[in-house]
Amino acid sequence: MTRTPRELVEQMFHELPARDADAFAALFAPDGVFEIPFPIPGMPTRLVGPDAIRDHLRQRWSGGLATVEVHGIHPQIHETADPEVIVVENEVDMTRPGAGRTRSRTAVNVVRVRDGRVLLFRDYMDTGRFARIAAGD
Total residues found in the chain within this entry: 137
Find out whether 107 and 125 touch, Cβ atoms under 8 Å. Answer: yes
Domain extent for 94 = 5-134
Write out the chain's pLDDT in tens, 137 residues.
678 999 999 999 999 888 899 999 999 999 999 999 988 888 899 999 999 999 999 988 776 556 677 888 899 999 999 999 999 998 888 877 777 787 776 789 999 999 999 999 999 987 666 556 555 55
CATH code for the domain in which residue 128 is found: 3.10.450.50
Q: From CA 82, how far away is CA 118, in angstroms rounded?
A: 15
Computed on alpha carbons and rounded to an integer, the radius of gyration of the chain in Å comes to 14
- pTM for this entry: 0.85
The domain tally of the chain equals: 1
